[in-house]
């Protein structure tokens, strides 16, 4: 893994300790190269060699990593994915990327929202963006996987059946999202300090400006065929892990709570990781901590003819590392739940 | 105060210790009568006589209370307000009520949402519902005040300038609300236990069914003249205090972030308790803990032509006890900030 | 399992989902009989049949349970263990008990501290009290295991090498213990509410009166041969899980930090669950959340000639369910780490 | 105030907003000079001029500050106090110092523990170290006050009556201390991040090496006349504010719980800020959040003949800013409770 010092990287390494079919080859990180793995991620201190040191993202280290690996996980800065992935693919190493570089089929969207120029537009077209419960069929046998973002995963799973059937009015979707503090990354600053964030709740970002917005819009378009603008507003809650997205959408026609639940069941009743609940049984983020689960609920608000959905995941579980392992299991032909069907940390 | 064993009651007693112009006459509680005040509310253990016992809401105790008081604060079960308030007013004691009984000018709304029959519709008409920054002019000299609910207070203060000018499209307002655990009351149950709620985030209630919904709708109508349906969805965050409402509304015409800020300034720049912030400076709930402050921000989302607002208060401060004292100061002719201009507990 | 509605029971069920060699036969609970398992323990909602109902501790239900099980886990009220264990053993079912009934070789100690009369003193003598890292040799092939308490486990593992060598002065040990809120049990009350316990730290119990005191004293005596009085004072911290005991003891002779570390290594370097750290690398409780790990550290305070030790475990992991599974693995001849070598929930 | 960007500085500024007899003249900080006060301390954003900028600790700025002030509060790096205090005293400005420079009557202790050379030993002798409830008589009319540290304040108040009467065996005192995260300062690092510290409990420092150790020993000596070595071990709990010290001491003779309570009452029953509790009523740190209170309890452990005490304060309240204001009130002849008799943030 390159970018192993990130929270997503740490969760990959943590989850991998429970995966029976994998072995850690190398860890690398552009920023924390040279540090000991166990100092960066105390969670795995007894699971890997205490002398393991993070390699760098230099060409030399990359060659070493690629020559000894079957799959490369990437969590690197915007723009850095392309040359690394190119080299990996040339060596027959499969790539699963955590970042946004190859998330957009149309690289113009990436250029616009991330303020960078894309020199590898073909790679974006070749990459497969996949939440397995929606697009797993497209990933089998593929070598370059774009692992979806945390908020987009929670959102798309909730919207899937309704968007697919075209029940939602264009441009009416509002995604109010809440994340735990691991979602804000590992770089320490005042707002992330325990004494400040404990007991605090706040929104962040420019209104409408979070970079997960076009990713959710793309998912909706990929599912439903029609482009629809989405309002997406993230918040931070005083807990380390967990995302809850509460989604509001205008429906073209009335629906009942029972029909909503049934539509979720139709999609997900055989899915081990996506758990629909009846209207009123709101998902708790704590049901997902440390897991690859997504708990879902939808209800119809008669007075205002709106569909209200709630979707809970662990931002670095199903929202990053868990889904990456799920995708890895798929492209290597392993049972999809291998190593990631573990219960949440509750209470 | 009757209902003194509630969280709102406890915060009243806590805040009153800092009020130079009041003295506690009696405390009573239907449920906890006979308990010692300091056992119920450790916060004030050194501020009131340790032998003070909560009276009951019996006629005898009420007579005793009313004969020795200038103002009566009520936090009682639905339906119980009317006979107590009637008696108090007859004795010349002013009444400030924390509950919903007299919040609706049209008692039919109350009957419908609270599933009770109102036998005192005239009292509802006589009562003055007042967030001081919006309706303080109507309360001077009045004797029966309905103290607004926590979510409605945070919502109305954010919506005020835009609703008043008719800028918002009918039926387009969505209020996504988050509260700390004191908002769930003092009756212990599994979901309120520390081991369960710590690290957890969830929505609650029936979608569209929270009883604060018609109160927000009434506020909007009182401000703007037009009835508009509102979507209101509450959540609970793992922190003891604080509310953040994030409000989404479609605007009839485009606006700029600067104009939004200016509209807030026009309304609130001389208000000591309502603090507007520029777009991007999102309010933190922790800026309000233990206070009567409301921190506000609005931003315009060009892509989707939506106004996004955030409003933070302490649910039992400006959302209950703080505002009740503010209302009391007004009706007794005291400076409005008396005893409640205190800084938040941060960090 | 009987007593399955407890926190220890919930953690058993949670951990068992990761154990490849076991299958849940029945769950029962004297207090919560008739409830659905998934309502009591949301953590395992997708791992067991959603229709599974908790049986009672009636004779009829016990017969049903015992006829279909190889091992019975018990977490029941003081005094209730004996008749159930007697019946189980008669049917050839092994028993692992979480409570205190059979923890004391001398049942008089139990009678004295728990204020009950012991009618089965022989059963106490037959039971094997075992922290595997200290007494695993005595459990092989045994049928009645007393699973140690949480505080005593953390304490004994820290004290083991020093007590065994007789380095500690008699009556000089002080155990200052801190637990997360799951340690206070599942019965909701005011002090356990999130709004009260969040941000709060306090001691509890009568000074010197916690019932884990004689258990720690017995462990010390079992290890070192000499009876020594111990001061034990527990506290509650605002976190769901985790115990840290900080132990102070007078040494008969000076020692160095390096010698302390070496003594821990000598005992534990091949133990997968007990992890010694060098002086100054204080254990974090969060390194143990959800696991069977114990992180240990000792340092010598030259100025005062005192040994200071810190020992961290998850109170319901190594402190209850994890250790019970470890004991089960041993008595059934499975590799000791089966199903419980999982990483902690960090961050 | 110089050092105004610290947590203690922030709490000074926060508490000062409730003090009727003071006005902020200047704020300065060596490290954060040039920053806006309201950016550094959001708690006071509406209480001071939003354009107020932190001055530096340059000579020029110091002159400006001193010429416009009656009292100077200092929270600066070790060694920096002396020249600043000298200049202030020369200009007739009283000085209250939060640091350790002038805490030790014998400057050798300071040199030894802080690894610096003291060039102003006379200033250490002239300074008055004062917890008002113990040494207020010595501060009246004085100009140079050393404000005690947080742990030493909590410890000395608990030990006072027993040390004064010589009841405690020499070298037997053990102080097990727990602090909230504000106690770890404002410099962000990995261990202080919310995602790491939330749900975590740990000790810190070198065993026996915390610099508050000699300060507690000095207090004991000042009270009781005899030098006694003390074991002091600090921990960090996942809460922003609060200290609980649990103190263990061997008594020369038996005592009863009632006698202990009575000895506390004899000392503190007329003290507004120090609140004794009966044995078993353990203090909660949350009773002190944001205040100058100290809640105390002592109990006798018959089995081991040990006195166990617990003492709770807010580490930046009575442990820093609150006590500094209390000391200021005393030396300026104001009623001692002026501005600081406020209730805690509970719940």
Each residue's pLDDT expressed in tens, for chain C with a length of 347 residues: 999 999 999 999 999 999 999 999 999 999 999 999 999 999 999 999 999 999 999 999 999 999 999 999 999 998 899 999 999 999 999 999 999 999 998 889 989 998 888 889 999 999 999 999 999 999 988 999 999 999 999 999 999 999 999 999 999 999 999 999 999 999 999 999 999 999 999 999 988 889 999 999 999 999 999 999 999 999 999 999 999 999 999 999 999 999 999 999 999 999 999 999 999 999 999 999 999 999 999 999 999 999 999 999 999 999 999 999 999 999 999 999 999 999 999 99
Nearest to A306 among B231, B244, B286 (CB): B231
Residue A274 has which token pair? 């996506």
CB-based contact (8 Å) between D231 and chain C?
Answer: yes
What's the confidence (pLDDT) of residue A141? 86
d(C-alpha C241, C-alpha C256), whole Å: 32
Answer yes or no: do C238 and B194 touch at CB < 8 A.
yes
Residues on chain D touching C245 (C-beta within 8 angstroms): none
Does B143 map to a domain? no
- Measure the CA angle with vertex C263, ends C262 and C265; round to 5°: 60
Q: Are D189 and A189 in contact (CB < 8 Å)?
A: no
Residue D141 lies in a domain: no
Within D48-149, residue ranges assigned H as helices are: 59-67, 81-90, 107-114, 121-126, 132-135
- Which residues of D are annotated as catalytic? 150
Q: Which chains touch A (3 or more CB pairs under 8 A)?
A: B, C, D
Per the prediction, chain D carries an average pLDDT of 96
Residue D338 binned pLDDT confidence (cut-offs 50, 70, 90)? very high
Domain shared by D121 and D156, yes or no: no
* C286 contact residues in D (CB cutoff 8 A): 196, 199-201
Give the DSSP H or E segment for B288.
none
Has residue D141 got a pLDDT over 90?
Answer: no
Active site residue B150: yes
Spatial separation of the C-alpha atoms in residues D244 and B280, rounded to whole Å: 39
Cis amide leading into B347 (omega within 30): yes
What stretches of A112-158 adopt beta strand conformation (E)?
128-129, 144-146
Sheet holding D243-250, edge to edge: D202-203, D231-236, D174-179, D243-250, D306-313, D294-301, D274-277
Widest distance between CA atoms in chain B: 63
Q: How far apart are CA B109 and CA B104, in angstroms?
A: 7
At residue D319, the pLDDT reads: 98
Closest-CA residue of chain C to A344: C43
Taking contacts as CB-CB distances below 8 angstroms, the residues of chain C near B180 are 195
Q: With beta carbons under 8 A apart, name residues in chain D contacting A194.
A: 181, 192-194, 196-198, 238, 240
Gap from A176 CA to chain C (nearest CA, Å) = 24
Q: Are residues D122 and D198 in the same domain?
A: no
Determine the residue of chain B that is closest to A234 in CA distance. Answer: B246
Q: Indicate if the pLDDT at residue D78 is higher than 90.
A: no
Which of C118, C124, C150, C294 is labelled catalytic? C150
CA distance C11 to B335: 56
D339-to-A157, D16, D336 alpha-carbon distances in Å: 55, 7, 9
Share of chain D above pLDDT 90, in %: 94
The answer to whether the CB atoms of D46 and B14 lie below 8 A apart is no
A198/C contact by beta carbon, under 8 A: yes
Residue D284 forms contact with B (CB below 8 Å): yes
Q: Are residues D106 and D224 in the same domain?
A: no
Q: Which residues 130-159 of chain C have a CB within 8 Å of chain D?
A: none
Long-range contacts of B225-230 (CB under 8 A, 24+ apart): B226/B166, B226/B170, B228/B168, B228/B170, B228/B171, B228/B172, B228/B173, B229/A303, B229/A304, B229/B171, B230/A304, B230/B171, B230/B173, B230/B174, B230/B175
Q: Is A39 helix (H, G, I), strand (E, B) or coil?
A: helix
C-alpha distance from C155 to closest chain A C-alpha (Å): 21
**Same domain for C203 and C113:** no
* Facing A189 at nearest CB: one of D188, D199, D240: D188
Is there a contact between A182 and C347 if contact means CB atoms under 8 Å apart?
Answer: yes
Determine if residue A5 is left, alpha or beta; phi over 0 gives left, psi from -120 to 50 gives alpha, anything else beta: alpha
Indicate yes or no: CB of A242 within 8 angstroms of CB of B200: yes
D14 and D108 inside one domain: yes
Q: Say yes or no for a CB contact (<8 Å) between A306 and B208.
A: yes
Say how many CA atoms lie within 13 Å of C346 toward its Cβ: 29
Structure tokens at C47: 């791992």
Does the residue C206 lie in any domain?
Answer: yes
The pair of structure tokens assigned to A329 is: 């299991």
Token pair in block for residue C332: 């059934």
DSSP secondary structure, B158-186, as one string:
HHHHHHHTT-BPTT--EEEEEE-GGGG-S
Q: What percent of chain D has pLDDT over 70?
A: 100
Share the mean pLDDT of chain A.
96
Closest CA to D72 of D96, D102, D47: D96
Pick B43's closest partner by Cβ from D44, D199, D343: D343
Rounded to a whole number, what is the distance in Å from the CA of A326 to chain C's nearest CA? 18
Name residues whose C-beta falls within 8 Å of residue A127's C-beta, 6 or more positions apart in sequence. A97, A102, A103, A144, A145, A146
Number of domains in chain A: 2
* DSSP β-ladder status, C243-250 and C174-179: antiparallel
Distance from C-alpha of C109 to C-alpha of C118, rounded to nearest angstrom: 10
Indicate whether A320 pLDDT > 90.
yes
Cβ of D195 within 8 Å of Cβ of A182? The answer is yes
Residue-wise pLDDT for A60-114, tens only, equals 999 999 999 999 999 999 889 999 999 999 999 999 999 999 999 888 998 999 8
∠ CA D249-D252-D257, nearest 5°, is 65
Measure the CA–CA gap between D58 and A287, rounded to whole angstroms.
Answer: 55
Name the minimum distance, in Å, from the CA of C193 to any CA of chain B.
Answer: 4
Do B208 and B118 lie in one domain? The reply is no
From A174, A202, A304, residue closest to B284, measured CB to CB = A202
CATH of the domain at B41: 3.40.50.720
A310 touches chain B (CB under 8 A): yes
Closest CA to A242 of A134, A147, A320: A320
Q: How large is the average pLDDT for residues D30-55?
A: 96
Shared domain for C122 and C204, answered yes or no, is: no
Judgement on whether residues D172 and D268 belong to the same structural domain of the protein:
yes
Nearest 5°: the CA angle C25, C28, C34 is 115
What would the pLDDT profile of C39-95 be if each residue is shown by its tens digit? 999 999 999 999 999 999 999 999 999 999 999 999 999 889 999 999 999 999 999
Among chain B residues, CA nearest to D241: B347
**In a shared domain, residues A55 and A176:** no
Closest-CA residue to A54 (of A84, A16, A27, A25): A27
In a domain, A145, yes or no: no
Beta bridge partners of residue D243, listed in sequence order? D179, D313
Examine the domain organization and report whether D172 and D68 are in the same domain.
Answer: no
* Residue C189: closest C-alpha in chain B: B188
| D96: closest CA of chain B, how far (Å) | 23
Does residue A341 fall inside a structural domain? no
Q: What are phi and psi of B162, to 5 degrees?
A: -80, -35
Question: How far is D191 from chain C, CA to nearest CA, in Å?
Answer: 10
Beta strands across the sheet bearing A274-277: A202-203, A231-236, A174-179, A243-250, A306-313, A294-301, A274-277
Reduce the DSSP state of residue B276 to 3 states and report it: strand
Catalytic residue among A118, A124, A150, A294: A150
Task: Determine, yes or no, domain membership for C101.
Answer: yes
Q: Of the given ranges (B31-35, D112-116, D246-250, D335-339), which has the lowest mean pLDDT?
A: D112-116
Domain span at residue C111?
7-126
Q: Is B226 on the interface with C (CB under 8 A)?
A: no
Give the angle subtended at the CA of B107 by the CAs of B101 and B109, to the nearest 5°.
95
Q: Average pLDDT of chain B?
A: 96
Who's near D181: CB < 8 A, 6+ residues apart? A193, A194, A195, A198, D192, D197, D236, D238, D239, D240
Residues A257 and A196 in one domain: yes
- The stretches in chain B having pLDDT less than 50 are none
Structural domain includes residue B100 = yes
From B118, B124, B150, B294, active-site residue: B150
Which residue in D72, D46, D45, D44 sits closest to D57, CA to CA? D72
Distance of alpha carbon A340 from alpha carbon A14, whole angstroms? 11
D284 bridge partner residues = C202
C268 touches chain A (CB under 8 A): no
Average pLDDT rounded to a whole number, residues D131-156: 96
CB D209 within 8 A of CB D234: no
CATH value at residue B207 = 3.30.360.10
If asked whether residues D297 and D197 sit together in one domain, one would say: yes
Residue of C14, C343, C345 to mutate, testing the A interface (most A Cβ within 10 Å of its Cβ): C343
CB contact under 8 A, B188 and C186: no
Pick from D48, D180, D345 the residue to mutate for testing the B interface (most B CBs within 10 Å): D345
Find out whether the peptide bond into D284 is cis, omega within 30 degrees of 0. Answer: no
8 Å CB contact between A72 and A93? yes
Length of chain C: 347
Q: Would you call B346 and D284 a contact, using CB atoms and an 8 Å cutoff?
A: no
Considering the domain boundaries, does residue D321 fall inside one? no
C115 in contact with chain B, both atoms CB, cutoff 8 A: no
């Amino acid at each position: 893994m390159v970018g192993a010092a990130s929270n997503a990287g740490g969760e990959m390494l943590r989850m991998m300790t429970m995966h029976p079919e994998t072995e850690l080859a190398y860890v690398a990180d552009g920023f924390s190269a040279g540090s000991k793995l166990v100092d960066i991620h105390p969670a795995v201190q007894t699971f890997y060699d205490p002398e393991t040191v993070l390699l760098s993202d230099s060409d030399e280290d990359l060659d070493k990593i690629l020559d000894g690996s079957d799959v490369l996980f990437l969590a690197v800065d915007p723009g850095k994915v392309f040359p690394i992935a190119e080299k990996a693919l040339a060596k027959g190493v499969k790539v699963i990327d955590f970042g946004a570089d190859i998330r957009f089929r149309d690289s113009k969207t990436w250029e616009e929202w991330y303020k960078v120029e894309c020199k590898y537009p073909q790679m974006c077209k070749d990459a497969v963006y996949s939440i397995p419960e929606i697009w797993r069929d497209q990933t089998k046998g593929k070598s370059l996987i774009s692992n979806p973002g945390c908020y987009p995963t929670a959102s798309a799973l909730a919207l899937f059946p309704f968007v697919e059937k075209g029940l939602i009015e264009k441009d009416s979707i509002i995604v109010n999202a809440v994340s735990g503090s691991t979602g804000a990354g590992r770089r320490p600053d005042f707002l992330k300090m325990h004494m400040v964030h404990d007991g605090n709740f706040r929104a962040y970002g420019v209104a409408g400006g979070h970079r997960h917005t076009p990713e959710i819009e793309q998912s909706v378009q990929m599912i439903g065929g029609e482009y629809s603008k989405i309002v997406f507003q993230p918040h931070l809650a005083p807990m380390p892990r967990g995302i809850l997205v509460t989604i509001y959408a205008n429906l073209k026609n009335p629906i009942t709570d029972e029909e909503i639940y049934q539509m979720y069941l139709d999609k997900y009743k055989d899915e081990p990781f996506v758990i629909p609940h009846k209207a009123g049984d709101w998902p708790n983020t704590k049901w997902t901590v440390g897991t690859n689960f997504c708990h879902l609920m939808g209800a119809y608000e008669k007075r205002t003819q709106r569909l209200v959905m709630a979707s809970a995941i662990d931002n670095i579980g199903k929202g990053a590392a868990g889904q990456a392992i799920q995708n890895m299991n798929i492209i290597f032909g392993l049972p999809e739940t291998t190593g990631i069907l573990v219960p949440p940390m509750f209470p």
